[in-house]
């Protein structure tokens, strides 16, 4: 497939998932830790703060923006008695499963100009999402307005990002294995056999295992486990399902083996993870 045709394929696969958005004021000077299964895009106002993520720290001045990809642990230390964040939680995906941020490198902290544009779009998107449409036609119009602003937000993110080395080639790999990823996502509640995944690619089990690991640096079963963890984190963050119900949705018959799996993958129990999640 030539590059122009593949760019069309990428464009057609691009999708936005909006989870929530709001403006939050923190009035007590303290530290706040976050780890969410969503991307955070926000503007900080009314107070400087320190952002700690990975092994790095950044001072964030009022007006600057934050872009934090999903499943990144970070901590905010307040430097003044209050700060305000105008935030959106969303996902931007390619080929139905893969985070855009898997392919690009984006600064965690942006300039004030970029932050102001993020703040403006956040306010517009949040206002649109919180307005009840009058009828079906206005609902469709509102949807188009939100989508347009999502693309404007994507343009801002890409304007301050750079492609990771080999990302274009990685996209081709993801597209080739898309039947496998589609099958895994649809069958996470079941016992998934690598032999079935190999059949989808018309390969022997050993050949499929080798090609998959060469392409993605993990085995098929390691990838499946990672997807189960991501879905569990998403369900913990967005639903009030019991541990047993979440366990059933990711392939476990009972809560206890799910809790043991989550703790082995994440480092703490799903109950502690859910309790630590910020509430809108």
Q: Residues 223-249: pLDDT tens digits?
A: 999 999 999 998 998 889 999 999 999
Residue 280: what pLDDT? 53
Nearest to 98 by CA among 204, 192, 215: 215
Quote the CA–CA distance of 198 and 207 in Å, as a whole number.
8
Q: What pLDDT does residue 155 have? A: 93
Burial class (CB in 10 A: 0-12, 13-18, 19+), 186: exposed
pLDDT at 123: 94
Q: Name the token pair of 207.
A: 């050949």
What is the number of other CB atoms lying within 10 angstroms of the CB of residue 278? 14
Q: What is the mean pLDDT of the chain?
A: 88
Report yes or no: 35 and 54 within 8 Å, Cβ to Cβ. Answer: no
Dump pLDDT digits (tens) for 96-120: 778 888 888 999 999 999 999 999 9
Helices (H), 61-200: 112-129, 136-159, 167-176, 178-186, 194-200
For the chain, what is the total number of helices (H) and then of strands (E)? 11, 11
pTM, two decimal places? 0.82
pLDDT category, 49, cuts 50, 70, 90?
very high
Instruction: Give per-residue pLDDT as tens, 122-173.
Output: 999 999 988 876 676 778 888 899 999 999 999 999 999 988 867 777 777 7
If you search the block for the tokens 């999903």, which residue do you land on? Answer: 70
Give the span between the Cα atoms of 157 and 66, in whole angstroms: 10
Q: Which residue has the tokens 């991501």?
A: 230
């Amino acid at each position: 497939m030539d590059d122009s045709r593949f760019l069309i394929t990428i464009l057609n696969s691009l999708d936005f998932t909006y989870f929530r958005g709001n403006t939050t004021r923190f009035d007590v000077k303290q530290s706040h830790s976050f780890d969410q299964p969503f991307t955070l895009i926000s503007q900080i106002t009314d107070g400087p703060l320190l952002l700690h993520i990975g092994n790095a720290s950044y001072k964030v001045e009022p007006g600057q923006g934050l872009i934090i990809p999903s499943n990144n642990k970070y901590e905010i230390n307040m430097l003044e008695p209050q700060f305000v964040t105008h935030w959106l939680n969303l996902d931007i995906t390619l080929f139905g499963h893969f985070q855009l941020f898997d392919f690009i490198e984006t600064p965690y902290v942006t300039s004030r100009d970029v932050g102001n544009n993020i703040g403006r779009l956040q306010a517009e998107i949040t206002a649109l999402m919180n307005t009840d449409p009058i009828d079906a036609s206005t609902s469709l119009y509102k949807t188009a307005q939100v989508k347009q602003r999502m693309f404007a937000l994507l343009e801002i993110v890409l304007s301050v990002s750079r492609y990771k080395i080999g990302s274009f080639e990685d996209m081709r790999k993801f597209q080739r294995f898309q039947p496998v990823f589609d099958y895994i996502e649809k069958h996470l509640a079941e016992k998934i056999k690598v032999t079935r995944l190999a059949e989808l690619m018309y390969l022997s089990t050993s050949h499929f295992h080798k090609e998959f690991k060469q392409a993605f640096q993990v085995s098929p079963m390691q990838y499946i486990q990672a997807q189960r963890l991501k879905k569990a984190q998403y369900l913990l963050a967005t639903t009030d399902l019991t541990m047993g119900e979440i366990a059933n949705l990711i392939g476990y018959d009972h809560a206890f083996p799910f809790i043991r799996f989550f703790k082995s993958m994440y480092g703490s129990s799903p109950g502690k993870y859910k309790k630590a999640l910020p509430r809108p």
